[in-house]
């Protein structure tokens, strides 16, 4: 593993020559936009809970209002922020490669839409989409108005989730993947195919703790495809990487394209 604090000639050449790039992104890529990473300490109504306690079907069953309000607040926060230079660099790289007959496939664990708002096409949202909602009982899609919260201020009180208008028995939940739930098969398989077809794999802003997403970059090892991590901290995946760019993705990713 080559540990770098800036892009060197070898890594620059690898990025320059790559025709098919696969990217797995995590919460860290949105950190510089102002979205807290998943494992940061909670504030407001949720200060007694870790994010892991809240992101489960059991937590929603036990206290639907608490979990619902947490997600509606995070949805409002995502709406209030903008893509950062890391998202923009990937979008630009994707366009550049497409024009040259190549590809850059983005698979994200993030439930935000900051890659899309930066102008990129996302191949796979492995953990769903925080702005989409469905019924816990009948799976009917629910169209909801944007949350009325101030993006940065957590709401003072928990609010109950709406009931499903279709079956009337279920509650509306965010269309995201909680612990213990299966990932969307299509997104997972598309990511596997993109990593297997890539000649460069980038792993950006993820702790590499949460399975099965964290195992996906390891498919690159089958063909010896170079693996590059962009992260200011060491992660579960760092040891497996060929290159580690040790720094924030908003600073590091634009320099990979220069």
Q: Which residues are catalytic?
A: 127
- Which residue carries 């990937």 as its tokens? 90
According to the annotation, is 135 in a ligand binding site?
yes
Among 4, 12, 34, 37, binds ligand BJW (CB under 6 A): 37
Between 187 and 206, how does the x/- string for binding to ligand BJW read (CB under 6 A)?
Answer: ------------------xx
d(CA 241, CA 228): 6
Q: Which CB sits closer to ligand BJW, 131 or 166? A: 131
Which segment (4-12, 58-66, 132-140, 177-185) binds ligand BJW by CB under 6 A?
A: 177-185
Q: Does 249 bind ligand BJW (CB under 6 A)?
A: yes
d(CA 178, CA 52): 9
According to the annotation, is 111 in a ligand binding site?
yes
Which secondary structure element, helix H or strand E, spans residue 68, and what is its range?
helix 64-80
Q: Which residues contact 6 (CB under 8 A, 6 or more apart)?
A: 245, 247, 252, 255
d(CA 112, CA 35): 9
Q: Which CB sits closer to ligand BJW, 156 or 180? A: 180
- Which residue carries 């797995």 as its tokens? 24
According to the annotation, is 108 in a ligand binding site?
no
Among 11, 15, 32, 194, binds ligand BJW (CB under 6 A): 32
Q: Which CB sits closer to ligand BJW, 42 or 197? A: 42
d(CA 36, CA 207): 13
According to the annotation, is 71 in a ligand binding site?
yes
- CB of 69 closer than 8 Å to CB of 173: no
d(CA 160, CA 24): 34
Among 7, 22, 31, 216, binds ligand BJW (CB under 6 A): 31
CA torsion angle 97 103 109 111 (round to 10): 70
Shortest approach of ligand BJW to residue 257 CB, angstroms? 16
Q: Which CB sits closer to ligand BJW, 62 or 165? A: 62
Q: How far is CA 61 from CA 67, 151, 163, in A?
A: 9, 25, 13
Q: How far is CA 72 from CA 80, 173, 179, 254, in A?
A: 12, 10, 18, 32
* Positions 81 through 100 that interact with ligand BJW (CB under 6 A): none
Among 26, 64, 85, 161, binds ligand BJW (CB under 6 A): 26
Instruction: Give the interface with ligand BJW as residue ranges (CB under 6 A).
Output: 26-29, 31-32, 37-39, 55, 109, 111, 127, 176-182, 205-207, 209-212, 230-233, 235, 248-250
Q: Which residues belong to the annotated binding site for Zn(2+)?
A: 135, 138, 164, 167
């Amino acid at each position: 593993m080559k540990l770098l604090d800036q892009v060197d000639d070898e890594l620059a050449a690898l990025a320059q020559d790559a025709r098919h790039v696969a990217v797995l992104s995590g919460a860290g890529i949105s950190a510089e936009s102002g979205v807290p990473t998943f494992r940061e300490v909670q504030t407001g109504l949720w200060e007694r809970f870790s994010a892991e306690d809240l992101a489960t079907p059991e937590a929603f069953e036990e206290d639907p209002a608490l979990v619902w309000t947490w997600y509606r607040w995070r949805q409002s926060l995502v709406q209030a922020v903008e893509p950062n230079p890391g998202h923009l660099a990937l979008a630009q790289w994707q366009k550049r490669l497409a024009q040259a007959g190549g590809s850059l496939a983005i698979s994200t664990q993030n439930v935000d839409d900051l890659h899309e708002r930066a102008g990129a096409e996302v191949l796979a949202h492995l953990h769903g989409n925080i702005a989409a909602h469905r019924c816990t009982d009948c799976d009917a899609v629910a169209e909801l108005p944007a949350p009325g919260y101030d993006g940065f201020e957590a709401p003072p009180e928990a609010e109950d989730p709406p009931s499903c208008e279709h079956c009337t028995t279920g509650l509306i939940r965010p269309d995201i993947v909680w612990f213990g739930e299966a990932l969307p098969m299509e997104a997972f398989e598309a990511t596997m195919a993109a990593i297997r077809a890539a000649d460069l794999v980038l792993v950006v802003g993820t702790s590499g703790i949460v399975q099965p997403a964290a195992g996906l970059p390891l498919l690159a090892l089958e063909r010896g495809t170079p693996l590059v991590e962009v992260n200011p901290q060491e992660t579960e995946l760092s040891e497996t990487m060929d290159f580690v760019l040790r720094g924030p993705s908003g600073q590091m990713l634009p320099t990979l394209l220069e």
